[in-house]
Chains A and B, each alone.
Chain A
Amino acid sequence: MNLEYYKDLVLVLTQKEIKVRYKNTFLGYLWSITHPLFYTIISLLAFKVIMRIQIENYTLFLIAGLFPWQWVTNSIGAAPFMFISNASLIKKTAFPREVVILADVLNNMIHFLLSVPVIVVFVFYYGQQPSWVWLYGIPLLCVIQFFLICGLSMTLASLNLFFRDLERINNLLITALFYGTPIFYTIDLIDKKKYATLIFIVNNFNPFTPLVVSWQNLFMKGSVDMMLVLKALGPALLIFAIGYYIYRGLRWRFAEVL
């Protein structure tokens, strides 16, 4: 595979997604941050006002988790349809199919990066300062999240061609992931004696936990805990490898089932 062509393909497809998304320039941008902001408000009402959760700076805490999470929801939510919606391309051209996924995940990553200024506004509003650590912390966590989401997306997009009910299960999976990741709560709020197994699962079997906690640390304290980052990186690379393996094994069958 010609490297220049591959690079161009990823670039042009990503550009296309972004152009389409922000075609109505400012309104397009507003829409794109509406979603995580809306979730923040709903969570504030549900967990702060009604459930009276005790977390310092709760609004900022929610924003620090929900904004990166929006990228997860967008990409994973669309993943099962990635190959199906490009059926005619897959049946007729030999272009490397994984590019569709790369372009989508990149697009959502850029989309997230564009929402960082909104996070900055909230950071200032709550009397804090963005930290220099962000300059390497954001790219670092983005790369990890990119690998993790790509791996999951490749798996979901490939398998959904063969098991079409996967797209239904996928919505349940996203909901479960949201509640199973400490986004609107912290793990130390869970009763350690009563729910030790639950804590163990959230801590060790959810690859998004170390990632989201890292985002929260970064945006709230301006700190990067390298142990936690490594704990996020390992599973991300493993899941990427598994996803790529599944995709590679099945890709020659795509045109047969579509």
Chain B
Amino acid sequence: MSEPVIVFDKVSKYYPMYHHITGGIKQFIFHLPSAIKSFRSTRFQALQELSFSIQPGERLGIIGRNGSGKSTTLGLLARVLKPSSGRITLRGRVSPFLELGMGFHAELTGRENILLNGIILGMTRKEVRKRMDAIIEFAEIGEFIEQPIRMYSSGMLARLGFSVVAHLNPEILLIDEILAVGDAVFQKKCQDKMLSFRQKNVTIVFVSHAMSDVRTLCNRVILLDRGKPLITGAPDAVIKAYEGLPA
């Protein structure tokens, strides 16, 4: 067995209750002693000693009800959050959450936005330029590529966004929604691209409420409940347990 690409070792995450201070400086200063006290004593536990490891090429699904710690787990993987305790080991290039069109600016052309979006998603300029033609071709934007994207239809925007993401070349892919945009033909293209990630042995972590998507994409699923893993195993069994959770 090869080395795991992702290891969570007893990872816990607490959030302080920020509402004590986001009331503003005035609020904070006038209620200084009580603000500090409550800031220290109240906290929200989002994850409790979560441990798991993922082998290269595995496609792990994380499911659970609202507030069970799914997003926190994904945030920790994306290195947007830091664990309160425990250790996370990541081997390989982690994609950010895939959100289409991150950082797009309406006044810039399609080409300029590809560069901007690609950089924000972690590519260097050289890497974006190398893929530029492929991205434009995949997006099927045609000559509109030199126009500001405020002139694009929503379908064109989504295709452009997906096309950049599709050319990222990550080793670990974090997904919080299934990406299939545009008309039926383009949606098929999107799905093929996602499947090609699977074939290229890309490790995928997928967080979702859509059980059918979890079934198609994942080969192992963790069920979280109030920050703790309930069970881990084959998709069907875990999904069944999830659906049987008491309301």
Contacts of B28 in A (CB 8 A): 163
Does B31 lie at the interface of the complex (its beta carbon under 8 Å from any beta carbon of A)? Answer: no
Residues of A within 8 A of B15 (CB): 256
Is chain A's interface secondary structure helix, strand, loop, or mixed overall? helix
One of B21, B80, B81 near A93 (C-beta < 8 A) = B80
* Bound CA–CA A95/B95 (angstroms): 11
Residues of A within 8 A of B156 (CB): none
In this complex, how many residues of chain A approach chain B with their Cβ under 8 Å: the count is 30
- Residue of B with least CB distance to A17: B105
Q: Does B241 contact A (CB under 8 A)?
A: no
Q: Is A50 an interface residue (CB 8 A)?
A: no
**Apart from the given pairs A16-B116, A20-B105, A165-B25, 17 other A-B contacts in the complex at a CB distance below 8 Å:** A2-B124, A4-B124, A12-B115, A16-B112, A19-B108, A91-B80, A92-B99, A93-B78, A93-B80, A93-B97, A93-B121, A163-B24, A163-B25, A164-B22, A165-B24, A165-B26, A255-B75
Query: Is B122 touching A19 in the complex (CB atoms < 8 A)?
Result: no
Q: What per-residue 1/0 map shows which CB atoms of B1-37 lie under 8 Å from chain A?
A: 0000000000000010010011011101000000000
Q: Which 8 A-B pairs have the closest CB atoms?
A: A165-B24, A93-B96, A94-B79, A92-B97, A252-B82, A8-B125, A255-B80, A163-B25
Task: Give the residues in chain B near A5, CB-CB below 8 Å.
Answer: 122, 124
How far, in whole Å, are A12 and B113 apart by their CA atoms in the complex? 10
Contact A162 B18, beta carbon cutoff 8 Å = yes
A-B contact pairs, 18 of them (CB 8 A): A4-B124, A5-B122, A12-B116, A19-B107, A20-B108, A92-B80, A92-B97, A92-B102, A93-B120, A94-B80, A95-B122, A162-B18, A162-B21, A162-B22, A164-B22, A165-B26, A255-B80, A257-B22
Q: In the bound complex, do residue A93 and residue B124 qualify as a contact, i.e. CB atoms below 8 Å apart?
A: no
Do A93 and B102 touch across chains, with their CB atoms under 8 A apart? yes
A255 to B103, CA, bound (A): 17
Contacts of A252 in B (CB 8 A): 81-82
Q: B-facing mask of A1-42, CB < 8 A → 1, else 0? A: 010110011011100100110010000000000000000000
Is there a chain B Cβ closer than 8 Å to A88's Cβ? yes
A166 beta carbon closer than 8 Å to chain B: yes
Task: Determine if B107 and A95 form an interchain contact, defined as CB atoms under 8 angstroms apart.
Answer: no
What residues of chain A lie closer than 8 Å to B115, measured between beta carbons?
A: 12
Docked CA distance A74–B15 (Å)? 34
Interface status of B211 (Cβ within 8 A of chain A): no
- Determine if A169 is an interface residue (Cβ-Cβ < 8 Å): yes
A89 at the interface (CB under 8 A from B): yes
Q: Mark A95-112, 1 if CB is under 8 A from B, else 0.
A: 100000000000000000
CB-based nearest B residue for A166: B25
Near A by CB (< 8 A), chain B positions 73-121 give 75, 78-82, 94, 96-97, 99, 102-103, 105, 107-108, 112, 115-116, 119-121
CA distance A163 to B26 in the complex (A): 9
Give chain A nearest CB distance to B245 CB in angstroms.
Answer: 27
Choose among B75, B103, B124 the residue that contacts A89 (Cβ–Cβ < 8 A): B103
In the complex the two chains form, is A89's CB within 8 Å of B22's CB? no
Contacts of B119 in A (CB 8 A): 8-9, 12-13
> Most chain-B CB neighbours within 10 Å: which of A4, A93, A169?
A93
Contacts of A90 in B (CB 8 A): 80
